[in-house]
Structure 1
Amino acid sequence: MGKGGQDEGKRRSGSAASDPDPAAPVFPAWARTPSECLAELGVSADRGLSSEEAAARLQRYGPNELERHAPPSVWKLVLEQFDDTLVRILLLAAVVSFVLALYDGAEGGEVGVTAFVEPLVIFLILIVNAVVGVWQESNAEKALEALKEIQSEHATVKRHGRWSHGLPARDLVPGDIVELRVGDKVPADMRVLQLISSTLRVEQGSLTGETASVNKTSHKIELEDTDIQGKECMVFAGTTVVNGSAVCVVTGTGMATEIGKIHAQIQEASQEEDDTPLKKKLNEFGEALTAIIGVICALVWLINLKYFLSWEYVDGWPRNFKFSFEKCTYYFEIAVALAVAAIPEGLPAVITTCLALGTRKMAQKNALVRKLPSVETLGCTTVICSDKTGTLTTNQMSAVKLVAIGRWPDTLRSFKVDGTTYDPTDGKIHDWPSLSMDENLQMIAKIAAVCNDASIAHAEHQYVATGMPTEAALKLWSRFWLRKWGFLVAILHLWIHLIC
């Protein structure tokens, strides 16, 4: 997804998808000056769009949201669990065993619970196998839908020359003038018009995988054909402002954004899923097993042919054929029993259980597994190529040591800090003075708390940070200090509020 912004994806109007308007703005905004971008979009930075213009463009380009695809039905997921050669063999064996048990009862034979044990056990294994597979894929689909929350819900937009706070992000259209501040999620792809602060930094790891935030500017880029990292005057939907503030103009919404193109590619790739190595091996094993079992059962049945089919030779020709349907059925049951005994009924259940356990362990590490066999595919991986280790980090920082001037100018003190998450209760400061703290330590803690744009909040059973990771780490360390000095918490919070 390195080169984007030049293709206009499909737009949606209301709940129905429609083809994009051929007059939609398609131009490399990053290679144009702010005034050229405003002229191309037909908008003034001082007044913004009027309500009538915004409504017309909303009707023309569609709402600023990603396309929603209907999830697969439960019945489709269930049928997909039986799309396996070995499973189909087990299903056929169970059906045949069940029919033969009923036939014995209809013929007046003794039919007890034991006659149905084997087919019922096979049915139970298949049902459990299907339930586990459907449950896993349903949870994965829900998690994928939850990923759409990466889009912003509200934006500060200029309409009729006035700033409108809290406008639904889905109502943004190309040409809207938007103000971004620290902590905001970028609601659409936009061209930076003017920096309000001295710097603007955006965390766009959701698009590039890079953990380091990127500096943004309002100056145009000379190259029209460049990647996302090179578009320093553009901010993209789904990214987060970690420092500074700016005024921008919307250039792309909905599926025409970079995150929208990623969404479209993922949806396209999901329709072309190849069998995993495990599934290919199981299908090959099932086909080979079917052929071998079929030949053996046929041989067993033919060997006992003389017991249910007999004849006499008259003038060298077989005559007076005698056929016993009861004995034929009996030896057919023996052949079927041999086939069922040769089929590893527990294999699908064992495989599903092992894959489900692997999926559970990966889920504990925040890894999303859509289909169970994918776990085995990852296990077959021998080499993972990565451009740098920073791409594989969690983009979280934590303070590990505090170094301060000692009681004398030529001495230093160091304090070890524990904790690797943003949870204030997960960590402590070793050897911290609990009764008295000199002015030097107090000043360090005040600077870390006050001169800081980051914030830490609790959301969905975990703590998340907004802002630069370094400032978030210092904010967390200041909270450790506040816990040590509980009687000063209220005073310091009031002081921070008055200053900010």
Structure 2
Amino acid sequence: MNKTNWHTVDISEVVHALKTDPKKGLDPEEARKRQEEHGPNVIKETKKISPVMVFLEQFNDFMIWVLIVAALISGLLLGEIVDAVVIAIILFLNAILGFVQTYRAEKSLEALKALSAPIATVIRSKEQEIKAEDLVPGDLILLSSGDIVPADARLIEVASFQTLEAPLTGESTPVGKELGALKDKNIPVAERKNMVFSGTTVGRGRGAAIVVSTARQTEMGKIADLIETKEEPTPLQKELKNVGFKIALAIIIIAIIVFVVGILKGNPLATMFLIAVALAVAAIPEGLPAIVTITLAVGVQNMARENAIVRRLHAVETLGSTNYIASDKTGTLTLNEMTAINFYLDGSLFKIEDGTLIDPTGKTKPASLEKLMQTAVLANDSRPSPEGEDYIGEPTELALVRAGHFFGYKKGELDNKYKRVNEIPFESERKEMTTLNRYDERFVGFTKGAIEVLLEQSDFLLENGQTHPLTKDEKEKILAEANEEAATGYRMLAFAYKEFENSPDTQELEKNLTFVGMIGLVDPPRPEVAEAIALAKDAGVNIAMVTGDHLLTANKIATEIGLKDSKGSLSGKELEQLSSHELAAKV
């Protein structure tokens, strides 16, 4: 069932294949049977190692085995109780140090595993809330803004529906969804616009979908399968085992030589045996494991201060042997936070530099900035967080709110001053949204959306604080500027408004608009990334950026952080067509 390319199948075929009802969902009894068949909708982890086993693992080392044998011989055969106790204490402290670090790391990782949807709204003859783990293929789920998607599902109904898929695909901007079947069965996950995926979040609107995959059959589950590989010994562990074996072999050979020479010289057999054993025990470097563990623990603590969790002590040394790093883009190399960077208004492109908005001519105070920011902040569905300290909502709108606050136009104050009295919600088909706000004694409609849509609806242009008819040449100039910025990876949004003496009919809100300007948004690089990449390159480490984002956006970020070089870029489709040898040659 789960091998079906659900994004290529019509809704009616999905309903038929999963034997469900697009209105009533599954019968509760049928859902129970399917749960017995498919099991819980949980990505089960491999069996956890108990704390006792974590502690005992610290003794799973060749040099430790040699020291244990040495301690036993010292205490039982040679009668050197003090030596045996000292070796035992060293072994115990070494195990305690390794256990504490490993256990802390495991607990920290468990705390990070919080990406789950504990509750799902489902229709099983009637609408109800159930545990997400109880979902089965064929369930009809309802999704709305802010929900975490509980399973992979095929959409059957959408209304202004967008999802945030950065945890799965790396796509930092919202993904608009639609219902039609797609033709290409090999289309990347990021482009399957009629599907929703477990672990992603609904950014806007509402929708209904039929569950097609649960647990490890989901896209998130497939990733979990990939990362649960058997742990390989690190280079240091291999080298320590090799050194330990050579030391033990050399000690045994020397002890045998001493034993044989002593016998040949006429010394008693028992005496020479004890001497040979004592020599072997004395030659064993009992402090080596402790020194290695302490050194690695210091490295782990240093990395912890840099907010990096190291799960295994020996992994620290492996980092020192790294010669290639493949890094995710969104949230790792970038802030995972859409940010307003470019502002086109009054006929010029302004950028924020050192906290000031400035254009190429040195102009710093565009006259139309107030109207642009009012439009960006008021035609915006972001809402205060429960704590009241920040806003929650769709990333693009949050970026506009932050831009407004940066220039002194705070959303809370504007919302209270200019009350919203009507609205036309955003829809992916229309590519725009409009709010009607009471503005002093008048009403003003504020509209934001796609450049080409708003230019088509605009008859006037606000420039340098004055309004005049929008000419064909001005439209072409604005569109060319938008295309140029979009080609460098920016997401461009347009803003317009219309004033009314009295509250207008809804159909009048998006006609004869006054075009104000555009804002370019991007998920910017983290400030420290460029320097870190330069240091890694100086150390001989090759770095590749891996992302589900658009190639233009990826290239822009790569250029800014110093990753763009002669090796160029590979799209997902190009990557899939390469053999392992061809890929190795490319990277």
With the length of structure 2 as denominator, give the TM-score of the two structures: 0.60
Distance 1:452 1:288, change over 3 A: farther
Q: Which residue of structure 2 lines up, in the alignment, with residue 343 of structure 1? A: 284
Contact 1:180 1:245 in 2 (8 A): yes
Task: Quote the residue 2:256 is aligned against.
Answer: 298
Task: Output the CA distance in 2 between the equivalents of 1:95 and 1:63.
Answer: 50
Q: Which has the higher strand share?
A: 2
1:86 to 60, 63, 69: 63
For 1:72-108, what per-residue CA distance to the aligned partner results, in whole angstroms no more than 9, with x for missing partners?
123322332222111212222233223356x36xxxx
Matching residue within 71, 88, 94 for 1:129:
94
Q: CA deviation at 1:292?
A: 0.9
1:217 to 150, 172, 178: 178
Q: Name the structure 2 match of 1:281.
A: 239
CA drift of 1:390 comes to 5.4
Q: Show the counterpart of 1:372.
A: 313
Where relative contact order (Cα < 8 A, 6+ residues apart) is larger, the structure is 1
Q: 1:415 to 1:223 in 2, by over 3 A?
A: closer
Say if 1:40 and 1:478 are closer, same or farther in 2 by CA, change over 3 A: same
8 Å Cα contact 1:401-1:417 kept in structure 2? no
Pair 1:29-2:9 in alignment: no
**Counterpart secondary structure, 2:36:** helix
Instruction: For 2:56, give the aligned amino acid.
Output: L
> Larger deviation: 227-236 or 82-91?
227-236
SS in 2 for 1:245: strand
The alpha-carbon distance between structure 1 residues 399 and 254, as it changes in their structure 2 partners (threshold 3 A), is: closer
Map residues 4-403 of structure 1 onto 2, 5 A cutoff: 6-7=2-3, 27-99=4-76, 103=79, 116=82, 118-146=83-111, 148-160=113-125, 162-164=126-128, 166-197=129-160, 200-267=161-228, 269=229, 272-305=230-263, 309=266, 323=268, 325=270, 328=271, 334-385=275-326, 392-397=332-337, 399=339
Following superposition, the deviation at residue 284 of structure 1 comes to 0.7
Identity of matched residues, %: 34
Query: 1:452 and 1:377, CA in 2 relative to 1: closer, same or farther beyond 3 A?
Result: farther
Deviation at 1:354, TM superposition (A): 2.6
Distance verdict in 2 for CA 1:136–1:211, change over 3 Å = farther
Compute the displacement of 1:30 (Å).
0.9
Match of 2:447 in 1: none
Q: Which amino acid aligns with 1:276?
A: T
**What SS does the aligned partner of 1:393 have?**
coil
Structure 1, unpaired ranges of 5+? 8-26, 105-114, 311-322, 419-428, 431-437
Is 1:472 matched with 2:398? yes
Q: Is the 8 A contact 2:10 2:180 kept in 1?
A: yes
User: For residues 171 and 151 of structure 1, what CA distance do their matches in structure 2 show?
Assistant: 13
State the TM-score, normalizing by the size of structure 1.
0.69
* Counterpart secondary structure, 1:384: strand
Distance 1:213 1:355, change over 3 A: farther
Cα pair distance change 1:145/1:99, threshold 3 Å: same
For residues 279 and 203 of structure 2, the distance between their equivalents in structure 1, rounded to whole angstroms, comes to 68
Q: Which structure is larger by alpha-carbon Rg, 1 or 2?
A: 1
The separation in 1 between residues aligned to 2:307 and 2:188, in whole angstroms, is 29
- Between stretches 230-239 and 133-142, larger displacement belongs to 133-142
User: What is the CA-CA distance between 1:126 and the residue it aligns to?
Assistant: 1.7
Deviation readout 1:128-159 (Å, 9 max, x if unpaired): 22223223333344445445531211122233
Separation (CA, whole Å) in 1 of partners of 2:223 and 2:329: 23
Q: How many residues align?
A: 416
State the alpha-carbon separation in 2 of the partners of residues 442 and 336 from structure 1: 88
**CA–CA distance in 2 between the matches of 1:366 and 1:77?**
23
Unaligned runs of 5+ in 2: 358-365, 424-587
1:210/1:381 Cα in 2 relative to 1: closer, same or farther (>3 Å)? farther
Per-residue CA distance 1:321-348 (angstroms, 9 max, x = gap): xx485xx1xx655544543443333322
Cα–Cα, structure 1 residues 357 and 203, in superposed 2: closer, same or farther, change >3 Å?
farther
SS of the counterpart of 2:189? Answer: coil
SS in 1 for 2:203: strand
Answer whether contact 1:155 1:187 (CA < 8 A) is retained.
yes
TM-aligned CA deviation for residue 449 of structure 1 = 4.8
